[in-house]
Amino acid sequence: MSDAPERKHSEVADVDRSLYDFVMPEEGYERYDDGLTPDIVRAISAKKDEPAWMRELRLKALDAFHEMRMASNWGPDVSALDMDHISTYVSPQTKQARNWDDVPDDIKTTFERLGIPEAERESLAGVGAQYDSEIVYHNMREEVAEQGVIYTTIEDALHDPQWEPVVHQYFGTLIPMRDHKFAALHYAVWSGGSFVYVPAGVSLSYPLQSYFRLNASGAGQFEHTLIIVEEGADLHFIEGCSAPKYYEANLHAGAVELFVKDHARLRYSTIENWSKNMFNLNTKRATVGADAKMEWVSGSFGSHVSYLYPTTFLQGARSSCEFTGITFAGATQDLDTGCKVILNGADTTASVDTKSISKDGGVNTFRSSVIIGRRADRARATVSCSSLMLDDISRSDTIPAMDVRNPTASVGHEATIGRISDDTILYLMSRGCSEAEARTMVVNGFANPVSKELPLEYAVEMNNLIKLEMEGAIG
Amino acid sequence: MQDTLLTIDGLSAGTEDKPILHDIHLELGSGQTHVLMGPNGAGKSTLGHVIMGDPSYQVTSGSITFDGADITDLTSDKRSLAGIFLSYQAPVEVPGVPLYSFLRTICQMRPELKTTARKFRERVGQICEQLELSDSFLMRELNVGFSGGEKKKVEMLQLLLLQPKLAILDETDSGLDVDALSIVSRGIEAYRAQCDGTLLVITHNTRILERLDVDRTHVMVRGHLVAEGDASLVGEIDASGFSRFEDELAAKGGVA
Amino acid sequence: MAEKLAANAATKLSHVNVPPAQTWNYLRINDIAFEVPAPVTKGEVLSRLPRLFDAVETGIGTEAASWIVSASGDSRYVEVKAGTHRAEPIVVDVDAAAGTVCDTGVLVREGAEATVVVAAHGTPAEAGTTAALVRIVAERRAHVTLVEVVALGKGSQHLEGIGIDAAEGAMVDVRQYALGGEKVAMGICTNLAGRKARLTQDMRYLARGSEQLDVNHVVRQRGRLTKSEIVTSGILADAAHKTMRETIDLIHGAKGAEGREIETVLVAGDDVVNKTLPTILCDEDDVAGNHGASIGSISPEQLAYLADRGVSTADAEALFARAIFDDAVIHAPEATSRNAALSRAELVLGTEIARDVAEGLGLDEGEEH
């Protein structure tokens, strides 16, 4: 099937990532020392001129980080991640802009190459763009602002007397500081991210989008996203991330806290395409009220190592959660992804549908947990995951845990692992497709349930990613 | 005239959002064989399920009297113990329960069938032989992984074991090859011969009726019983289909 | 045996039934801990199994397996000669009254056929610890049938560790019946090492009261064209606590391997805790791995079908329980395992139905289907 896969692959891989893989100079940037000390944490806090409670929270989190250990009995290896060689704060010398013309040229060029301003003009209600540790651009359409929607940075919200109490009330309540070691790290050094507030009954017809770009080498990005969707409101939030490739480890340990109130709906879409030197230890969590709906759409393509399990607490009666995800692991990647759903309300429903594709020695682990609490009468959950193996040097593990404590609940689970059947390829080739086209077609079809959930430009981006990755796989 | 076993009087029923059966009147005499015919989707199976007490249908008016008692409000397990049997078109798979355990349990809960395990086993063995069903099926999980024909045979096995007063056979002939069909037909004959049971055969195919001595034929179109006749009606339908009945119903304005 | 265990001193086995791939520790699904009596050494020279059994991985884990080896004293080695069919089952009789802890090795030579029975039994009065370690090596084209019946009473804890190595063309048929015991760990690992080695495994369980059932099913598919088919079904009543780990490990090089597992759990108690970890590990592309699970009460369709045959909802749960005993009794190949299941049936189902189970299967006449 592949006569000279290595040579062809490296060729394509070089071309492949060019869209994301470009470096801008870091000259004149404010960069804090590598490593992690109380002084650095205080410096970040002072720079942000934040309330005392936040500074205390950071210092407490730092202690927790030093105290806590990663579990030794599961998960990808993160020993190459040495915090003594990671700068936790790197900031371009620029003020946050509301107009792309006010963004420094190199940064503006970066986001233009990523297509952000164009998407903003065409199909978004608002955009935030983060470059390394700070948000460099933030803007929202006027008609959306007029409806009372708030879309800003957490830093700005903390400086606003109206919103500081709200941030204080919600920040860090869904993801506890001691959730895991890197959640603690996040709280110690968080910087940037978004604060979104959608008032009751307001429905946004276009999505909001935040884009996270990590340009600096040997650095970390620790943005915090806090979204509150009030009763009966409706929001689609999109998150994109990328970084150029370096040989030094980069770290992403963001946190996303989502509060979906009664009768509200939130769709949270992510396309993550970090470079393959990135350790992506991200934490996302949503709590969902009665009759409300949480929808996750998640595409993971990048990073060297990922630990990523968006978590949903279905607290209110009749609340529901849909999780649609795809993970593509190629050479040198070890991606441990999945989700967690906790069904606590009566008549709650959860449906999880994931796909994974492994090739070139990539490792995919689908890890999930579905917990049905004692009071979740008639709760229903279905988990379905399928894994596609594109060669015999890759790996794909499926580790779904279930814990059911209500006799009236029902849980269904199915998992399949296999490869593209020779018959399918033969059939498509007999209709005139090349083998490469045939395989790409099958893989795209496999990924289709995910891409059809994405906004059009992201679906196109995802299909392109798959196409490029696939070309690398075939000689 | 024989005793009446089942009387359906002015019965209308349907699902929550849709009425299906309209003002059904039907009388089955003890020991008779009735045939209920009609095009696909006419509501024939629904009638069978409503007689059995399927909770997914609601009776909106009318009554069902069985063996002298009003059973309209009884749950289906009570109707079963009273002597009604409905064979399923698509019998449900019940993993974890060997066929033997199931058969033994449903027989032991009927005082008239209670017997020693040994006699029971002999009886089951005989019926299996009659139906050309290997007795290795007895230790397999109920209906799990059985072929269409095997499932139908297991339904016949229950019919012959339980010897109900009334057997409603819902499309028992659908999807069977010629051999299986003849075994099922023989099963039905055996049931008739053994206990002089009453039969309501629901079908849209006349092949299974060839070996049966039909007393009455009923025709259902769009939830209405539109015609009734003797066995000759079967031949007529065989020759010219249901369009005549559909036209008549439309002419009467009885379109639901 | 029993005298090898100190009456008071206790040892803690922290990691029993650890699956090959673990997950979040806070779920408390990665292992189970046991307090067991500490083995006593009296300086005797004890017979040990031939070394080849050291290489056989058991599902219960090395910590528990070593404890059984040291607590059991003498071991028992059985060899079934090449090409022979051993009609009489090899019985591992685990008696709660005697506090049995035993270590057994069975070598089934090329083309031979043998049945191994592990029967753990005891009455509610016989509280205490029992354990069995059984390692089986099946050579080329050997055929091994293993039947496990665990039918213990209240207050008893039991560890059962099984390891099976299957060489080319070997066939392994396993039937497991977990019918009772206060705290029971059953761990089985089958290594399909040879080409076309095959495993069928069928487990039925019933846990009720405050019983705790902890299971670790592992199949390592190393050989080309190996095949595994694992079916598990059970009922949880009252405040029973069950953890089921199922792992199909499709190892690099196992071209053409197929692994399939299906689990059905019927939950019939308000305080049941039901944990499941169905894992597929895959390091090979030319394989097919499948898992399906369904957890819940009896489905409305099943209830309707059963009701149409006269079985009410309450009767249905009793029918499911009885079915497990029917299945156990019919597949128990000899008296120890059969009696273990029957005496447990009497306790669970009542004398009348238990007798009916016994009679219905023709046991009173000494004939079988």
Distances, alpha carbon A337 to alpha carbons A79, A244, A314, A364, A413, in Å: 19, 22, 20, 8, 17
- Do B96 and C320 lie within an 8 Å CB cutoff? yes
Structure tokens at B31: 């020991």
Q: How far is B205 from chain C (nearest CA, A)?
A: 25
Burial tier of C55 (Cβ tally within 10 Å: 0-12, 13-18, 19+): exposed
Question: In chain B, what percentage of residues exceed pLDDT 90?
Answer: 51
Which residue does chain B place closest to C313, by CA atoms? B77
Of C264, C315, C356, the CB nearest to B96: C264
Chains that touch C (3 or more CB pairs under 8 A): A, B
- Give me Rg for the CA atoms of chain A: 22
What does the pLDDT read at residue C106? 98
User: What is the per-residue pLDDT across B89-124, written as a single tens digit (0 to 9) for each?
Assistant: 888 888 888 899 899 989 988 999 999 988 999 999
**CB-CB contact of C186 with C157 (8 Å):** no
* Chain C residues closer than 8 Å to B138 by CB: 369
Distance of CA B233 to the CA centre of its chain: 20
Which residue does chain C place closest to B155, by CA atoms? C309
Which residue does chain B place closest to C298, by CA atoms? B94
Cβ–Cβ contact C204 with B under 8 A: yes
Instruction: Write out residues in chain C with pLDDT < 70, as ranges.
Output: 1-8, 41-45, 361-369
pLDDT at residue B160 greater than cutoff 80 = yes
* Chain C residues closer than 8 Å to A392 by CB: 252, 255, 284-286
Of C301, C323, C356, the CB nearest to B92: C301
Cβ–Cβ contact A71 with C under 8 A: yes
Distance CA C50, CA C21 (A): 30
Residue at token pair 């805790």: C273
Chains A and B touch (3+ CB pairs under 8 A): no
Helix C313-331 with C300-308: angle, nearest 10 deg: 90
ipTM: 0.91
- Do C360 and B120 lie within an 8 Å CB cutoff? yes
Q: Taking residues A377-396, what's their average pLDDT?
A: 94
Q: Taking residues A423-435, what's their average pLDDT?
A: 80
- Three-point CA angle A237, A238, A241, nearest 5°: 145
- The closest of C308, C293, C349, C295 to C325, measured between CA atoms, is C349
Cβ–Cβ contact C303 with B under 8 A: no
pLDDT at residue A262 greater than cutoff 50 = yes
Distance CA B184, CA B153 (A): 7
**CB-CB contact of C192 with C221 (8 Å):** yes
Cβ–Cβ contact A417 with C under 8 A: yes
Q: Which of A406-420, B230-244, C60-74, C148-162 has the lowest mean pLDDT?
A: B230-244
Which residue does chain A place closest to C276, by CA atoms? A402
User: What is the per-residue pLDDT across A215-241, written as a single tens digit (0 to 9) for each?
Assistant: 888 888 999 999 999 999 999 999 988
Whether residue C369 is contained in a domain is answered as no
Pick the residue of C305, C357, C359, C364 with the most B CBs within 10 A to test the interface with B by mutation: C305
Cβ–Cβ contact C5 with B under 8 A: no
Distance CA A274, CA C72 (A): 55
Residue at token pair 């006010």: A102
Pick the residue of C231, C298, C308 with the most B CBs within 10 A to test the interface with B by mutation: C308
- Do C356 and B80 lie within an 8 Å CB cutoff? no
Q: Report the CATH number of the B4-251 domain.
A: 3.40.50.300
- Do A404 and C295 lie within an 8 Å CB cutoff? yes
Q: Which of A5-19, A397-411, B231-245, C144-158 has the lowest mean pLDDT?
A: A5-19
What does the pLDDT read at residue A441? 82
Q: Indicate the length of chain B as a whole number.
A: 256
Which of A115-119, A153-157, A339-343 is modeled with the greatest confidence?
A339-343
Q: Pick the residue with more confidence: B193 or A350? A: A350
Cβ–Cβ contact C324 with B under 8 A: yes
Q: Taking residues A17-41, what's their average pLDDT?
A: 77
Residue at token pair 């991606």: A335
**CB-CB contact of A5 with A390 (8 Å):** no
Going from N- to C-terminal start, the domains of chain A cover 1-24+424-475, 25-423
Which residue does chain C place closest to B117, by CA atoms? C360
Report how far apart the first and last C-alpha atoms of chain C are (Å, whole number): 37
pLDDT at residue A103 greater than cutoff 90 = no
Which residue does chain A place closest to C24, by CA atoms? A74
Q: Is the dihedral of CA B102, B107, B109, B115 positive or negative?
A: negative
Q: Ramachandran region of residue C172, left (φ > 0), alpha (ψ -120 to 50) or beta?
A: beta
**CB-CB contact of C182 with C155 (8 Å):** yes
Q: How far is A31 from chain C (nearest CA, A)?
A: 36
Q: Considering only CB atoms, which residues of chain C are within 8 Å of chain A?
A: 21-25, 27, 29-30, 250, 252, 255, 265, 267-270, 272-297
Mark which residues 358-397 of A lie under 8 Å from C by CB: 367, 369, 387, 389-392, 394-397
Give the three-class secondary structure for C181: coil
Question: In chain B, what percentage of residues exceed pLDDT 70?
Answer: 96
Distance CA A201, CA A43 (A): 40
* Chain A residues closer than 8 Å to C30 by CB: 73-74
Whether residue C322 is contained in a domain is answered as no
Question: In chain A, what percentage of residues exceed pLDDT 70?
Answer: 94
Which of A1-5, A226-230, A434-438 is modeled with the greatest confidence?
A226-230
Q: How confident is the model at residue A89 (pLDDT cuts 50, 70, 90)?
A: confident
* Chain A residues closer than 8 Å to C281 by CB: 395, 397-398
Distance CA C76, CA A123 (A): 75
* Chain C residues closer than 8 Å to A389 by CB: 282, 284-285, 287
Q: Pick the residue with more confidence: B176 or A386? A: A386
Q: How many beta-carbon contacts under 8 Å exist across A and C?
A: 136
Task: Read off the amino acid at residue B203.
Answer: T
What does the pLDDT read at residue A177? 95
pLDDT at residue A83 greater than cutoff 90 = no
DSSP β-ladder status, C5-16 and C32-39: antiparallel
- Three-point CA angle B211, B217, B220, nearest 5°: 125
Q: How confident is the model at residue A474 (pLDDT cuts 50, 70, 90)?
A: very low
Chains B and C touch (3+ CB pairs under 8 A): yes
Which residue does chain B place closest to C362, by CA atoms? B118
Structure tokens at C277: 């970890």
Q: How confident is the model at residue A472 (pLDDT cuts 50, 70, 90)?
A: low
Pick the residue of C30, C247, C274 with the most A CBs within 10 A to test the interface with A by mutation: C274
State residue A445 phi and psi, 5-degree precision: -65, -40
Pick the residue of B76, B79, B93, B122 with the most C CBs within 10 A to test the interface with C by mutation: B76
Q: What letter does residue C135 receive in the DSSP assignment?
A: E
DSSP β-ladder status, C273-282 and A395-404: antiparallel
CA atoms within 13 A on the CB side of C79: 8
- Do A392 and C274 lie within an 8 Å CB cutoff? no
Distance CA A396, CA C349 (A): 45
State residue A427 phi and psi, 5-degree precision: -60, -50
**CB-CB contact of A358 with A389 (8 Å):** yes
Task: Read off the amino acid at residue A252.
Answer: H
What does the pLDDT read at residue C362? 61
**C58: domain range?**
2-297
Q: What would the DSSP string read from start to end of A381-435?
A: EEEEEEEEE-STT-EEEEEEEEEE--TT-EEEEEEEEEE--HHHHHHHHHTT--H
Whether residue C45 is contained in a domain is answered as yes
Distance of CA C125 to the CA centre of its chain: 23
Distance CA B208, CA B203 (A): 8
Q: Looking at the 3D structure of chain C, how many domains does it have?
A: 1
**CB-CB contact of B211 with B201 (8 Å):** no
Q: Which of A349-358, B232-241, C86-95 has the lowest mean pLDDT?
A: B232-241
Report how far apart the first and last C-alpha atoms of chain B are (Å, whole number): 34
